[in-house]
Chains A and B, each alone.
Chain A
Amino acid sequence: MAKTQIDQEFIQLVTENQGIIHKVCGMYCNTQQDRDDLFQEVVLQIWRSYGSFKGNSKITTWMYRIALNTAISGFRKKKRRPQEQSISLAEFQLADSPVDVEFEEKLKVMYTAINQLNKVEKAIVMLYLEEQSYEEIAEVVGITPTNVGVKLHRIKNKLSKMVKKRYDGVR
C-alpha cells in the first residue's frame, strides 16, 4: 500500500477514533505485543472495509463493529507466556492513584470480573460502558435490542455474583 494511496480522510478517521481501537485491544489482549498486533490488524480491516461504508450507521458504531469482529472472530495463536497485567487496569491505577484507594480497589475487583467474562459478554459490556444504546449494541452484535437487554441483565447478575464471591473470599 503506497503512502500516496492512503486516503487522508481514512487517516483522519482512525486518528480521531483510535480510542475505540485501543479500548478493544485492551479488553481482548493481555500483553503489549498482542495489543500492538491487534491494533494493526484492526486498522488493516478498517482500511479494507472503508470503501464499503455506506454511512447507514454512525461511524463509531461501524468502527466498533470492525474492531470487535477482528478481535473476536480472528485467529490468533495463543502465546505460552505469563500473563501481563491488562493495560486498561494499569491505566485505571494511574488515573485514580492516591485519591481514592477504596474506589481503586473496587475498580480492580470489577475489572478482574469483567476479564473473566467470555468474548461476547465482554463485547456487550464494553459497548454498554461506552454508553451505546441497545439499538446500537444490537447493530454491532447482530441480535435484537430486546435480546441485548436480556443478555446485559444476565451479565450484570453474573458480574455481581463474581464480585460478591471475591469480597466473601477476602473476608
Chain B
Amino acid sequence: MMELDELKNAWRKLGEIQNENALSAEEIVRLVQARAVSTAGRFGRFMLVELLVSVVVLVLFWWVFKTYRFPDISVEMMQGIYAFLIVLGAVFYALQYRSVKRVQNAALDLRTSLREAATTTRRVISSYRVLMILSPTIGVLLSFWSTNRLDIFFHPLFLLVLAAFTLLYYFPCNWYLKRTYGKHYEELMACLNELEE
C-alpha cells in the first residue's frame, strides 16, 4: 500500500514533465493581455443581469399600471415610487459593486483571504435581502406621503396586497441569491471552518 511520502517522487516527475511542456514567454504575455474573468468580474456579470431584470420588471409594472388604470393611484404617485426605486437601485448597486471588487485578495494568506471573502459575500447577500424586503414598502410609503394620500397606504386591503407582492418576489429572489452568492458563501465557510477546526 502506498504512503503519501512515496508520492513525492512521482510528484517531482510530474514537475519535470510540466517543465517540458511549459508555455513560452510570448504565450504568457498573450495570457496576461487576454481578459481573464476574476471572481469580482463574475459577480459583476451577475449584477448586470440583475439590473437588466429589474429594468424589465419596472417597465412591465408601468405597462400594467398604464393599461389597467387603478383608481386612487395617480401617475404622480407611480412616478414617485419609480424615482425612489431608481435612485435606491443606483446607490445600492454602486455600493455593492464596490464591495464585490474587494471580494478576493489573493496576496493574503489563505485563512485571512477566506475570512475577508466570506465577510464581503455575507454583506452582499444581507444587503440584497434588506433591499428586497424594504425597498417597495418604503418607496410606496414615501410616494403616498408626498402626495398626501397616506390613507390609501394604511388601508388594510392595500397593505395586504403590498405584503403579498413582497412575498411573491422575495422567494424567487431568495432562491436566486442562494444559488449564486449563497453557494459561494457556503463553500468559503466550509473551507474556513476546515482551517479553523
Residue A123 interfacial (CB < 8 Å): yes
A129/B111 in contact, CB under 8 A: no
A19/B113 in contact, CB under 8 A: no
Bound form: Cα–Cα A52–B111 in Å: 19
Known: A19-B18, A65-B106, A88-B14. A160 touches B112 (CB 8 A): no
Question: Which residue from A72, A75, A119, A159 sits with its C-beta under 8 Å from B4?
Answer: A159
- A156 closest partner in B (C-beta): B4
Residue B134 interfacial (CB < 8 Å): no
Residue A134 interfacial (CB < 8 Å): no
The residues of A that contact B87 with a CB separation of less than 8 Å are none
Bound form: Cα–Cα A37–B39 in Å: 12
B25/A92 in contact, CB under 8 A: no
Q: How many of chain A's residues touch chain B, expressed as a range?
A: 35 or more
Residue B107 interfacial (CB < 8 Å): yes
A86 nearest CB across to chain B (Å): 11
- B19 closest partner in A (C-beta): A19
A73/B36 in contact, CB under 8 A: no
A109/B2 in contact, CB under 8 A: yes
Bound form: Cα–Cα A68–B13 in Å: 21
Bound form: Cα–Cα A27–B88 in Å: 43
A129/B8 in contact, CB under 8 A: yes
B25/A66 in contact, CB under 8 A: no
Known: A39-B31, A65-B107. A106 touches B2 (CB 8 A): yes
The residues of A that contact B36 with a CB separation of less than 8 Å are 37, 40-41, 43-44
A43/B191 in contact, CB under 8 A: no
Within A58-116, the residues touching B (CB, 8 Å) are 62, 65-66, 68-70, 72-77, 88, 91-92, 94-96, 106-107, 109-111, 114
